[in-house]
Amino acid sequence: MQNWRVNIAVFMIKLLSRPAAKDFAKQLLSPEKAQQKIFCEIKKNLAKSQYGQALGVNEDITYSAFRRTVPIVSYDNIAPWIEKEKQGFQGILTPHHIDFFEKTSGSGGPAKYIAYNKPLLNSFNRMFKIWVHDILTNGIRVETSRIFMSISPALRDEKQTIGGTPIGLDDDSQYLKKMWRRFLKPFLITPPLILDIENIEDFRYLLAATLLAEENLEMISIWNPTYFLVLLETISIYREDLIHDLAMGFIVKNGTRYVFRALSAERKALLQKPAIHWQALWPKLKLISCWTKSMASYGAQKLNHLFPDVLIQGKGLLATEAPISIPLMNSVGCAPMLNEVFFEFRDSASNIYLLHQVSVGETYELIISQRGGLYRYCLGDRIKVTGKYHNTPCFEFVGRTNHTCDMVGEKLTEDFVLEALNQVIQFNRVFCMLIPRIETDGRGYYVLVCEKSDFISDEALDETLSKSYHYQNSRILGQLKKPVVMVVPNMQREVQDFMILCGKKWGNIKDKILITDFEMAKRLLDHLSNEYIV
């Protein structure tokens, strides 16, 4: 693309996103005032909904009365109301029309259905504007504007609810308004018409070919860093086939011909080297936006090693339920979307704090009220306040709440497993996952699935887990058998394939150090044991 076109595009994007960025910066100066404003909007929406009317909420309710009247809820608490929405009834949790539902993609249990209306979509759009304005103003110097955004195959087991409301989106760009999608379309790296491909390996192959054909790739926006790492692995595995197909300029899959830009001689030579120099393959690449905290730190550090000159920017906390926080180049952490979501924070003693009341260095459980019809909703995420930016506390994701595995009373928590195993394995060196297995006699044991060997033995794993009193006691009583280490060389790919088969969206799959859902654990181990013996 000619430089003058890129310069005009960058100028227009900055111009169009400036009002949102300017307003957000202003709100950060007065967090209490900003939160009061969004609270007033949300309580009016609640008062107009059947849920709010059942609680006796009116539009003039004060925050103290709101706390007394509206309970803190989990998804299960409001599932009957959401079922009514899925049946096609309007005005249940929100007075606004529901455009579609998105399913959560967490690997710890059953999927949840989150309703999206125009006000909630507007929240996501404003977050994107703020982010892109900050990147273009304070981050990278754009040359090509070629962007790749996460895209997943259409393997949804449900296309719509019983009431006829659509379920799910195919790629991240669909969260944006049509005007922005049209404006960004020339810059988005879009694969040929592959969304209907149901074979995940064919989908990955064509997506890898799309990226290989784009030598001017400049920005990547994904969620889990392993998404991109698996694509790199796909290129490594099928490099000879990809070289052959891209030299011809087309690929045939299942009788369909997909046309690509032919591979240049220089890029072909790079692919033919014994070890692929990934940064040389995409010399214009400047930014990879992805998760970098908790279990995603392994993949993020691996990307940083493969692309040492590329900015690996950690995403803020972005849930299916709402945009929670956003990374800013000059902040000490991710700034909360304080003009889109009303925040409450619960400490370990169950005390509730507002945004302007939290303390730097403290950890809290996050409770949100948003524009889509969720009120005092417990996300199940814990955050740590890292500092302040323009008077507003910033925070980062540190883990899930109550993420505990308990087969026979051992009560292993995600926090303990992450900290204990990190001391002996170091997740920047090897990816692993602890999975429970219950036998027919009622006794259980744990399987540590690793992508590499020689990092930890069965005995060392048992010793490490025995630092937990309840685990050690269960082992002494004979309720738990000795754990097992299982090596799966292509673990990330295998786990992602399993999650996709379970109906999870590929681009949104989260890494887990500990599986707590026993049925899912059994199915996952059975899937892995098809090729690898426990």
Model confidence pLDDT, tens digit, residues 282-309: 999 999 999 887 667 778 888 999 999 9
d(CA 82, CA 431): 36
Q: Within 368-467, where are the H helices?
A: 414-424, 458-465
pLDDT of 534 reads: 41
User: Cβ(81)–Cβ(51) under 8 Å?
Assistant: yes
Put simply, whether the predicted model's pTM sits higher than 0.85 gets the answer no
**54 has pLDDT over 50:** yes
Mean pLDDT of 440-463: 80
**193 has pLDDT over 80:** no
> For the chain, what percent of residues have pLDDT higher than 70?
92
Cβ neighbors of 489 (< 8 A, separation 6 or more) are: 451, 452
Mean pLDDT of the chain, nearest integer: 86
Angle ∠(100,121,113) on CA atoms, nearest 5: 40
Mean pLDDT of 60-65: 96
H or E element: which one contains 434?
Answer: strand 432-438
Mean pLDDT of 106-128: 82
Residue 225, SS3 per DSSP = helix
372: left (phi over 0), alpha (psi -120 to 50) or beta: alpha
H or E element: which one contains 288?
Answer: strand 287-290
pLDDT of 533 reads: 43
pLDDT of 278 reads: 94
User: Cβ(366)–Cβ(324) under 8 Å?
Assistant: yes
**208 has pLDDT over 70:** yes
d(CA 425, CA 407): 24
CA 143 to chain CA mean position, Å: 28
Mean pLDDT highest for which of 103-107, 266-270, 530-534? Answer: 266-270
pLDDT of 170 reads: 62
